[in-house]
Structure 1
Amino acid sequence: MRPRRLAVVGTVAAGTVALFASPAFAHVSVQPGQAEKGGYSVVDFKVPNERDDASTVKLEVTVPTDHPLASVMPQPVPGWDVKVTKSKLDKPLEVHGKKINEAVSKVTWTAEDKGIEPGTFQQFPVSMGQLPEDADQLVFKALQTYDNKEVVRWIEEPKEGAPEPENPAPVLTLVEPAEGSGHHGSGSGADADDKDEHRDEDGKQRTADGDDGDASDTTARVLGIAGLVVGAAGVAFGVLGMRRRSA
């Protein structure tokens, strides 16, 4: 019975390793996978190299135009040239009272040297916003090009309740803003202003009755010294008591 059990355990373990080593898990993705609606966020497009004999030398990410973003700014990545492509909008955006007639539709990174070599990955940070409030996700279709001219198209949109497609597109899930976040206009700025009102010209925070922090520090020191004196007196009485008993 024992050999049979070992064989079963070995088969399960091998299947598990094969499952997690499957290429389906090593696709172009966006991290973190979610951001708050109506806000701005910095996300990384994570690109793993899935080939043993080729390097990734180009990444093209399409920014959805059904929910255009007024600001898309890639962070420079050493060893990579970045190009931002803009397209004219069918319907202009209004941001901070200004109308925007075009928005970023594609970001392209091209390797200047070796690119992403086998067994490695690269992250491409992008700041983007204002994220839409009327959508639950943004789909960024991506093309990954290897130095052997192979192009992997990560363009299939995942469907809820369906198995993951073979070449899923990176998806950024949009969630409702957390309670108290700046997106609702109730950030910590008001609290900070209230606290500043209780500070004097030297920057020391005052208490409710107008006394500054020095008063509380002095009180704490006095109480601390008094505690030490009481403790020392207790030790002295204890020693005297022991001497009397021994006598």
Structure 2
Amino acid sequence: MSASNITNIFRTFPTSRFSRNALRVTVATGVAASAVLLVSGTAAAHVSVQPQGQATKGGYATVNFRVPNERDDASTVKLEISLPSEHPLTSALPQPVPGWKVSVAKAKLDKPLESHGKKITEVVSKITWTAESAKVAPGQFQQFPVALGRLPEDVDQLVFKALQTYDNKEIVRWIEAPEEGKEPELPAPVLALSEPVEDDHATQPGAGATATADAKNAGQEKETASASDDSSDSTARVLGGIGILVGAVGVAFGVLAGRRRAS
């Protein structure tokens, strides 16, 4: 709203002080509300990338490139995603999206990478989805999934540059990297990387003590069983010796009794 338009509005209203103050408040409120709607609409309409779950440093992740339509009179018919060349990824596998044709471009590496014992000399540099029987119409959005890996370990985020093409030949370039203290007009999709989480079993409090106690109990049970076996063997030996002694006494008694009868 220009200054001349505001002046004309003031002139059409009564000249009382109350009317002019009320008009000023109304106009200011309307301009502020329009600015808020304009800023929020622009911020919410850009191409973004979000992981399915978490994207951890040094790991693998499946991400969704979310493409909203920010036009009222055109539809999105093409999306180009450029992968970061300063942090090449050994793997980038796009998931098929119904109604869209996907193509993958690769680039040679100056310095080969190693993955699972193999040397990687080229990586995916760009993924392009082109509409065939589908499109992103006004008031809609579309997600384009990609499996990425291996993610770098020495950075906190990855910046992807995106080109969004409409059926009226307009191309919106979402390529501006984020800067501290400054909001880009056409921000590039940014994937935040989180720190890796250690194994829950290895870090669970008391897990080692529990395993040690179990081993100790098992050893005690084994010693108890061995002592029980030794005690059983000793008892059997004593009873056997008593039996032999009783038998010998009986034999001697019989011999003596036979001699007395003979005399």
Q: Same fold (TM over 0.5)?
A: yes
Matches within 5 A, 1:116-195: 116-161=136-181, 163-180=182-199
Alpha-carbon RMSD across the aligned residues, in angstroms, is 3.1
Structure 1 position 110, deviation (Å) = 0.3
- 8 A contact 1:139–1:171 mirrored in 2: yes
Match of 1:233 in 2: none
Counterpart CA distance in 2 for 1:8 and 1:148 is 36
Matches within 5 A, 1:188-207: none
Q: Name the SS for the 2:121 alignment partner.
A: strand
Selected match of 2:89 from 51, 66, 69: 69
Match of 2:117 in 1: 97
Q: Name the SS for the 1:38 alignment partner.
A: coil
Structure 1 position 173, deviation (Å) = 1.5
Q: Name the SS for the 1:104 alignment partner.
A: strand
Match of 1:24 in 2: 43
Count of residue pairs brought into register by the alignment: 188
Counterpart CA distance in 1 for 2:90 and 2:142 is 26
Counterpart CA distance in 2 for 1:13 and 1:186 is 54
Alpha-carbon deviations, 1:16-35, whole Å to 9, x = none?
444423x2331000014962
Selected match of 2:107 from 87, 90, 94: 87
Deviating above 6 A after TM superposition, structure 1's stretches of 4 or more consecutive aligned residues are none
TM-score by length of 1: 0.67
Paired-residue identity, %: 63
Q: Name the SS for the 1:20 alignment partner.
A: helix
- 8 A contact 1:55–1:114 mirrored in 2: no
Counterpart CA distance in 1 for 2:186 and 2:163 is 10
Q: Using a 3 Å threshold, how does the CA distance of structure 1 residues 109 and 93 change in structure 2: closer, same or farther?
A: same
Q: Which protein has the larger Cα radius of gyration, Structure 1 or Structure 2?
A: 2
Counterpart CA distance in 2 for 1:149 and 1:16 is 29
**2:77 alignment partner AA:** V
- Structure 1 portions without partners, runs of 5+: 192-207, 210-247
Structure 1 position 149, deviation (Å) = 0.9
TM-score by length of 2: 0.63
More helix by share: 2
Counterpart CA distance in 2 for 1:187 and 1:94 is 30
Alpha-carbon deviations, 1:174-232, whole Å to 9, x = none?
22113437xxx9599xx9xxxxxxxxxxxxxxxx99xxxxxxxxxxxxxxxxxxxxxxx
Counterpart CA distance in 1 for 2:133 and 2:191 is 30
- Structure 2 portions without partners, runs of 5+: 1-17, 208-216, 219-263
